[in-house]
Chain A
């Protein structure tokens, strides 16, 4: 049976890593770990594409097509694209109650 969450867009080029450790620090799912010199992927399939690692990687060693895995937001965006309504950063219901 299909497991939709096994694949993602995370790409990591270890040759560019300077071992700053930021990616392992910011990842909320423990996708990266450090072995002292460089980062390495330990749980690639847990990546949720939040983009924290990419944003904080100073050398561009981590690349990910980041976005929010929110079906209602994506369906609504797909439906409203036809009307060419520019959507401002607005709260999805899912974003509203979270206290993170």
Chain B
């Protein structure tokens, strides 16, 4: 299932690794509240901080949406380095990108990684859906018999797990205190030095590189659905029409994420209209410029079609990018949908109607 993490419990019985060693949990200074009646020692899995070439390949495939739900780590307790009962416990999701971000950030440290079963979904999205949540955390603490493994009662969670986890409930039900670490795993070393997160560490960002890595998944999502249209237009509408459709896709999935902060207005739909308008201009102007003085009604009509169809197309794809960003609220997105989707629909329908009208005129007039 995963590289960098395999069960080692029975391989290293005499090792000093807590939970796998022969030590008796009852003999520790800090008595666990409940003794597990089940025999044997708690099961753990071994993890490393090294991101191998195979891991990077796995990340690449995940970014491109290959085997979408298959980038999983085994849920349970993973050990990093040679932790003692006093070593910290970090909680994460069983999505390889989440798990790998955590274990690579903890290079050189001895720690426990408690992996929750989020069905291969990242921490923030899983927290929003409740799978990275109080229930699963409590269940996982019990199942791994964490109380017998560590002497302290602190769990360090990623801050973005907070929408799904009620710290006070976890404390009540497991006696473990939840400590919210920084948003990004990369800030963990500094967080552990100060044992508190500065304001910067607590903020989500959406930098150019954050946006760039999302482009492949946007493309993979949109291209298969839209490419039949591009091909169809190529044969029945001409090269320019086909290029127009392709431009909508590329503008909506590649240019839009890149240009997001620099596109004017606050709403995603209007940003998309602006970008779509810019993209439509050359398509609208090209035939007019080429024919110079003698411009027919048909040419003006087809220019209008581009101006009517491309902007709402890009706007719709732009609106759909809201879910990938880190700063849109459901209330805001709902307002956008109710305000702008009708506008998009009307523009698109008018453009389509005009296309049919122009086609009919061309046939009838033989122009």
Contacts and interface: CB of A to CB of B under 8 A. Distances in A.
A85 interface: no
Nearest to A3: B266
B98 A97 contact: no
A100 B63 CA distance: 13
Interface stretch (B45-53, B300-308, B333-341): B333-341
Contacts of B270: 1
Nearest to A1: B265
Interface residues of chain B: helix, strand, loop or mixed (majority): helix
Given A28-B183, A56-B166, A93 B128 contact: no
Interface residues of B, number: 72
Nearest to A54: B163
B123 interface: yes
A74 B332 CA distance: 12
B267 A72 contact: no
A52 B265 CA distance: 28
Interface string A34-68: 00000000000011111110011010000001111
Given A56-B168, A91-B125, A3 B328 contact: no
Contacts of A75: 320, 337, 341
In which size bucket is the chain A interface? 35 or more
A71 B320 contact: yes
Contacts of B124: 50, 98, 100
B210 to A, nearest CB: 9
Contacts of A15: none
Contacts of A52: 127, 159-160, 162-163
Given A28-B202, A71-B336, A75-B337, A55 B165 contact: yes
Interface in B219-277: 220-221, 265-268, 270
A97 B62 contact: yes
* Interchain residue pairs A-B with the least CB separation, the first 6: A70-B323, A69-B328, A94-B323, A95-B125, A99-B97, A52-B162
23 contacts: A4-B339, A5-B329, A6-B332, A8-B329, A24-B202, A25-B159, A29-B327, A30-B199, A30-B202, A49-B329, A52-B159, A58-B168, A66-B128, A67-B330, A69-B330, A73-B323, A89-B119, A91-B69, A93-B221, A96-B68, A96-B217, A98-B214, A100-B125
Interface of A: 1-9, 22, 24-30, 46-52, 55-56, 58, 65-75, 89, 91-100
